[in-house]
Chains A and B, each alone.
Chain A
């Protein structure tokens, strides 16, 4: 005992210490309780109350996608599926049913008394009758669903495999997370539900199954679902062959079956919801409220094209029936179907253009007229065998509005599915070549450069520039005009004014303009015409390009690149090459069509669009003006007109054996302002021998892409539509891409966009 202390007894002091410790612990608990019940009360109460009500969700349907004339390109169609219980599929079902029946019939107490063997006997006696039910169901599935036994077995096996693997994965995961280490079979959800065996059955068959529900209860489900349907994706186009270049011309009308029409634009949906969807718009949001437009695991999601880009417009919101479990009150809010999306596409024109680009029509194959003949009549050899299909793309857009009427890429995804793996890798059918693939512009950039040079004052329209065949004094091999070659006996164009220079596509003229403008001004002007600028038409990029070139469609040299050119002393040559659309610049066919439309609008820049203005989903269309003088535009258009209409134009004619000339554009009643382009292409990989590998000898270098870009309007009228055609590795722009553009103009006529109609034979034009 220590009398000097307030509490003399050590034992008592220690008891007090224990009490204090206990009180402190209780205060700690109190603090946590205070946090839960006072500070966070609302959150927990909301959580707890949310479980007082039960939600049932009413399905919604996706909006339709329409073309500009109201044709339905995509819609949700109701259909029925037959799903069979998993246990019926595995064959466990009769045993389980028999066991249950046996228990019921023997009675609970008696059942307990039975030995294991006795029980099994009772069960076995009842199995056959349930097995008979299964047999009957399978028989009906086969007859009503019109599938044979093998097909049925394949489907059942596929379901079993799928369920088994996902159930295993589920068990593995739960065991790991919950630390359950015994081998109790945790039933996975997949093992307790019905799985679809027959899809998209007719109403009639669904009705037959409906009648069976009472006879075979609990064995199958009739699921009514909505299926996304694309009515135009496959269709047939009839094209006359009488306006084709004479080597393949005939009086036949060709029937062309199309696959994947506008597939790259419309896109597709997937019925698996990915983590990124749930992260972007979860059904149950973070603050635990429900977003009726959010994603649940059973949802359909737009996976590419407009289906993805306008996912939020199209998908709609589910309805909800909220039942209060306490009071059994029900509140119903109906579902909001997704809104329709009207595109600027004309699906009939789109189909025609796709048919024109189809290899079976003949224009996107290697043909002799594209390669030409020697002066003594021998066919000039090409680098690809005659008849090889060529990848191509075409865009048609309305000048005044920037609306895209047709945008076709060849081959389509659907065609790609028939290719070998290697071929698919080389060809990349997933790429929308019209919108996503980058090409050097080549000569088609020349009218843009002309307008830039005149507006910047480095050229007057009356000024002539002498074509000497080569630009640099000291080098005759380098920066030549295209005719300064041995096959043309090193011809030159002589002295040219702007219009004729454009019509003849004289390189020297445009080297000079580029040189006068200088790299910096060139970049500014090319940028204004869209090179290196993202083209936001309302579609996301789909292909493998997406990661690489997002918001960066097309290329212009940047400051760093320019300083590199300077350092290496290449700035002058880089500048002049950019004058003819070569060197460090690329764009897409859509960019090209848009740039020509800009020129036709007198310099007004509008973004091309694929969604109809006036529909609420239309994007804000940017408008800027290049402030081009009318005279400049007229001069450029005159040059483009000469290019097609004048006999010296590069887009005027095809040469046939015997120096026979045949006009490229033979459509009647229209005026065409266009430019051909032959742009250097990267080495072509080509699996010649079909061994599935690319050997060194199968890489072909020094090939060109063929461009044909221009404007078309009624004869003596103004340009109404811009057309851009590219044929990859097609060689000469005029001879390969030109006939395609001609057919597209005829398609515009056939669809009533332009006056005139198909004539059996074109008349000679200037």
Chain B
């Protein structure tokens, strides 16, 4: 993203606003006090919690991950600031270019002829592009690109309120998702589905249609099982076995899940404290303890209280994001807000769910908390986008977008007699 902002940011702002003013379509004003700051505050706190969690286990022979995480936090916040500056409507114009770029990178990592020095497969997965300072995962950017593209596509349309009209948005979902599944990175791919549904619900698609799509998807899901990678199948099998209390996978494929659950449980309500948690995590040989499994460390160190704090901060972030959408009147901003919130929420649910044994293990970071450069910077970029949306105050009253005929039969109705406003 930063590539677009080579010169001063205001340079973009002024011509943009003057152009809109000239058209008389919209007046741009900055709204400095807005709900998106909730997201920023929550993100900062989550990030600090992450630094503390990463710092739990001393690692004498590896780099100071907590320090590096802090550095990435600064970089991430800078990226968020940069992305908040240009008006999002300008970003909207670049959406499709951006999407094509990202898709290009997703295809690029899959190409077998790309030398190992550029795309280095790890455990057979081709997800990373090697950059001089860090490794970069195009699938992280794909999440943002996808949300922008979907919002951009839906913003002035109505045809998604028909069954047929849902096909194109679905198609738009399956392209990046499919490429990511092939990497393979099932976890990241799974984030796209809830995002699709959330954005379409917000846009006013009919529940009936979404339900049909979901049911078709669910009924097709078992047929996809054989297509899964053997290790993915094994993980699902192991998770089901472990949920029913069987321990035969605990030393092999279910090792990570078992140890994560053990440490979560060992934390109890108040947590084991730093020193004890460090010993428990270390001698229980929890894999990825600073990364995908960092939530287990939080639960071990601070107990249920730590988990509640984490979820509480996410809730604040989500509420902040949804309020941003609610306050925004412009259709693109509305949908982008919902989409980004859902992406962050889905990642959080998948990560914490797999840590406490409700979902199969898959490579998925916990936004802001897990150690990892591209994941953290992308999460901050999402917050930057939310801030961007909330900062803009529409200069005139737009037609309210996504308001449809209330006679529609499938609306889950709040129209309860008693609740009806007096005099309405």
Please choose the segment from A20-28, A512-520, A614-622, A670-678 that sits at the chain B interface, where 4 or more of its residues have CB less than 8 A away. Answer: A20-28
A13 surroundings in chain B (CB, below 8 A): 414
Task: Name the distance in Å between A349's Cβ and chain B's nearest Cβ.
Answer: 52
Q: Which residues of A contact B371 (CB under 8 A)?
A: none
Contact B357 A32, beta carbon cutoff 8 Å: yes
The contact of A179 among B231, B279, B414, by CB within 8 Å, is B231
Q: Which of B202, B229, B283, B400 contacts A325 (CB 8 A)?
A: B283
> 1/0 per residue A12-37: CB within 8 Å of B?
11110111001101101110111011
Contact of B233 with A179 in the complex, beta carbons under 8 Å: yes
B residues 350-367 near A (Cβ < 8 Å) are 352-353, 356-358
Chain A nearest CB, measured from B116 CB (Å) = 15
Q: In the complex, how many angstroms separate the beta carbon of A29 from the nearest chain B beta carbon? A: 6
Q: Which residues of A contact B316 (CB under 8 A)?
A: none
User: Which of B249, B311, B325, B400 sits near A29, CB closer than 8 Å?
Assistant: B311
Task: Say whether B201 faces chain A, with CB atoms less than 8 Å apart.
Answer: yes
A182 touches B268 (CB 8 A): no
Q: Is A40 an interface residue (CB 8 A)?
A: yes
Q: Are B415 and A5 in contact (CB under 8 A)?
A: yes
Partner of A4, one of B124, B269, B342, B421: B421
Evaluate contact between B414 and A7: CB separation under 8 angstroms.
yes
Contacting pair A34 B304 (CB below 8 A): yes
What's the nearest-Cβ distance from chain B to residue A673, in Å?
63
Say which residue of A17, A37, A49 sits within 8 Å of B264 (CB atoms). A37
A48→B400 contact, CB < 8 A: no
- By the criterion CB–CB under 8 Å, are A26 and B315 in contact? yes
- What A residues does B419 contact at CB under 8 A? 5-6
A329 within 8 A of B: no
For the complex, is B84 an interface residue (Cβ under 8 Å from A)? no
A495 at the interface (CB under 8 A from B): no
**Number of B residues, CB within 8 Å of A:** 66
- Report how far A472 CA is from B214 CA in the complex, Å: 91
Q: Does A559 contact B (CB under 8 A)?
A: no
In the complex, chain A residues whose CB is within 8 Å of the CB of B145: none
Given A45-B266, A179-B234, residue A25 in contact with residue B349 (CB < 8 A): yes
Smallest Cβ-Cβ distance to B349: which chain A residue: A25
Cβ of A177 and Cβ of B249 under 8 Å apart? Answer: yes
Cβ-defined partner of B204 (8 Å) among A10, A37, A178: A10
Task: Verify if A41 is at the interface (C-beta below 8 Å from B).
Answer: yes
Closest A residue by C-beta to B345 = A22
A51 touches B284 (CB 8 A): yes
State whether the Cβ of B338 lies closer than 8 Å to any Cβ in chain A. yes
Given contacts A22-B318, A26-B311, A48-B280, contact A178 B253 (CB under 8 A): yes
From A4, A10, A32, residue with most partner B Cβ within 10 Å: A10
Return the CB mask of A712-745 against B: 1 if under 8 Å, else 0. Answer: 0000000000000000000000000000000000
Chain B, residues 101-130, CB within 8 Å of chain A (1/0): the string is 000000000000000000000001000000
The residue of chain A having its C-beta at the shortest distance from the C-beta of B264 within the complex is A36
- Restricting to A419-445, which residues have a CB under 8 Å from any CB of B? none
A10-B411 contact, Cβ under 8 Å, with A37-B265, A40-B265, A179-B233: yes
Interfacial residues of chain B within 3-38, with CB under 8 A of chain A in the complex:
none
Report the Cα distance A659→B161, complex, angstroms.
Answer: 121
CB distance from B246 to the nearest CB of A (A): 12
From B61-69, B135-143, B373-381, B402-410, the one touching the partner chain is B402-410
Instruction: List B residues 192-243 near A (Cβ within 8 Å).
Output: 198, 201-202, 204, 229-234
Which of B201, B232, B283, B415 is in CB contact (< 8 Å) with A51?
B283
**What sequence of 0s and 1s flags, for each residue 257-277 of chain B, a beta carbon within 8 Å of any chain A beta carbon?**
000011111111100000000
Known interface pairs A3-B424, A179-B233, A180-B230. Does A10 touch B403 (Cβ–Cβ under 8 Å)? yes
B1 within 8 A of A: no
Closest Cβ of chain A: how far from B135's Cβ, in Å?
21
**Does B309 belong to the interface (CB within 8 Å)?**
no
> Would A4 and B264 count as touching, CB distance under 8 A?
no
Residue A69 is within 8 A (CB to CB) of chain B in the complex: no
B204 and A45 within 8 A (CB): no
B334 at the interface (CB under 8 A from A): yes
Q: Which of A17, A40, A52 contacts B412 (CB under 8 A)?
A: A17
A224 interface residue, CB < 8 Å from B?
no
Q: Are B198 and A18 within 8 A (Cβ)?
A: yes
Query: Given A18-B202, A38-B269, A44-B265, are A11 and B230 also a contact pair (CB < 8 Å)?
Result: no
Judged by a CB distance under 8 angstroms, whether A9 is at the interface is yes
Residues of A within 8 A of B299 (CB): 33, 37
In the complex, what distance in Å separates the CA atom of A6 from the CA atom of B424?
10
Chain A residue numbers with a CB within 8 Å of B124 are 182
Contact A4 B202 (CB under 8 A): no
B252, A174: Cβ atoms closer than 8 Å: yes
Q: Is B187 an interface residue (CB 8 A)?
A: no
CA distance A22 to B233 in the complex (A): 27
Tell whether, in the assembled complex, residue A178 and residue B266 are in contact, meaning their CB atoms are under 8 Å apart.
Answer: no
Whether A37 contacts B421 by the Cβ 8 Å rule is no
Complex contact A38–B201 (CB within 8 A): no
Taken together as a complex, chains A and B put the C-alpha atoms of A460 and B261 apart, in Å, by 83
Which residues of chain A are near B182, meaning CB under 8 Å?
Answer: none
Q: Which of B320-351 contact A (CB under 8 A)?
A: 322, 325-326, 334, 338, 342, 345, 349
**Chain B residue contacts of A43, Cβ below 8 A:** 265
Give the chain B neighbours of A51 by CB distance below 8 A.
Answer: 280, 283-285
**In the complex, which residues of chain A have a beta carbon less than 8 angstroms from the beta carbon of B352?**
29
Taking the closest CB of chain B, its distance from the CB of A169, in whole angstroms, is 15
Contacts of B92 in A (CB 8 A): none
Residues of A contacting B176 in the complex (Cβ-Cβ under 8 angstroms): none
Given contacts A15-B326, A19-B319, A36-B261, contact A5 B279 (CB under 8 A): no
* Alpha-carbon gap, A29 to B284, bound state (A): 23
Chain B residues positioned under 8 Å from A325 (CB to CB):
279, 283
A476 to B251, CA, bound (A): 79
Q: State whether the Cβ of B303 lies closer than 8 Å to any Cβ in chain A.
A: yes
Picked from A18, A25, A33, A48, the residue with its CB within 8 Å of the CB of B266 is A48
Instruction: Provide the bound-state CA to CA distance between A567 and B172, in Å.
Output: 87
Specify which chain B residues have a CB less than 8 angstroms from the CB of A33 in the assembled complex: 264, 299, 304, 307, 356
Interchain CB contact under 8 A, A3 and B421: yes
- A11 touches which one: B266, B334, B345 (CB < 8 A)? B334
State in angstroms the CA–CA spacing of A36 and B338 once bound together: 32
Task: Looking at the assembled complex, report how far the CB atom of B280 sits from the nearest CB atom of chain A, in whole angstroms.
Answer: 5
Q: Knowing A6-B419, A10-B204 are in contact, say whether A15-B404 is a contact too (CB < 8 A).
A: no
A463 at the interface (CB under 8 A from B): no
- Tell me if B59 counts as interface (CB < 8 A to partner A): no
Question: By the criterion CB–CB under 8 Å, are B265 and A41 in contact?
Answer: yes
Return the contact of A6 from the options B285, B318, B406, B414 (Cβ within 8 A). Answer: B414
B261's nearest neighbour on chain A, judged by CB, is A36
Which of chain B's residues has its CB closest to A7's CB?
A: B414
Q: Is the CB of A9 within 8 A of B403?
A: yes
A110 at the interface (CB under 8 A from B): no
Q: Check if B400 sits within 8 Å of A1, measured CB to CB.
A: yes
14 contacts between A and B (CB under 8 A): A2-B406, A2-B415, A5-B406, A22-B318, A34-B304, A37-B268, A37-B303, A37-B304, A41-B269, A44-B261, A44-B265, A45-B265, A52-B279, A174-B252
**Which 6 residue pairs across A and B have the least CB separation, nearest first?**
A44-B265, A179-B230, A179-B234, A48-B266, A36-B265, A2-B406
New A-B contacts (13) at CB < 8 Å, excluding given A41-B266, A178-B231, A179-B230: A1-B403, A4-B420, A5-B420, A11-B204, A12-B326, A13-B414, A29-B352, A32-B357, A45-B266, A45-B268, A47-B262, A51-B285, A180-B231
